[in-house]
Amino acid sequence: MYEAPGIGLAATQVDVHKRLVVIDVSEDKSQLRVFVNPEIESAEGIALGEEGCLSVPGIYDKVERAERVRVRYLDLDGNAQVLTAEGLLAVCIQHEIDHLDGKVFVDHLSQLKQTRIKSKLAKQARVTA
Ligand code: GNR
Ligand code: NI
């Protein structure tokens, strides 16, 4: 995740099929958070923010998310935790939990945008091949 560089990573993105997420939204990359079996317990408000994804390189767009989420998870010691998050952390938690469920941020965009993004990615793949 740090090497990418990215602020979050879901295990499924690197072919580890566990419900595990790591996030670090700190400026100096000093506050790694680990979420095991994260579940959104409640969500409030709506916020529109620009997103990108390591699994969808070169694509950025605004996505509607909950503004604030209350997330339940286990920490690295297996202890149950609850966290109320907002801002970038809230966005990132929702983005990463989507990955665990096989979804990417593009799935939140309009059909037209999804079609455009698919052809752009196909073109990129041809160039890289
Ligand atoms: O590095 C990342 N930045 C980011 C910016 C806005 C919303 C979500 C993210 S997560 C992304 C890394 C990634 O793709 N994690 O799955
Ligand atoms: Ni992502």
Sheet of strand 33-52: strand arrangement = 8-10, 20-23, 33-52, 60-74, 80-86
Supply the pTM of this predicted model: 0.97
Which pLDDT tens digit goes with each residue over 68-123? 999 999 999 999 999 999 999 999 999 999 999 999 999 999 999 999 999 999 99
Between CA 67 and CA 57 the distance in angstroms is 25
Is residue 97 in contact with ligand 1, taking CB distance under 6 Å?
no
Between CA 11 and CA 61 the distance in angstroms is 23
Nearest CA, atom 6, ligand 1: 51
Query: What separation in angstroms does the CA of 29 have from each of 1, 4, 67, 108, 113?
Result: 10, 13, 23, 28, 33
Is residue 6 in contact with ligand 1, taking CB distance under 6 Å?
yes
Which pLDDT tens digit goes with each residue over 14-66? 999 999 999 999 999 999 999 999 999 999 999 999 999 999 999 999 999 99
Q: What is the pLDDT of residue 30?
A: 98
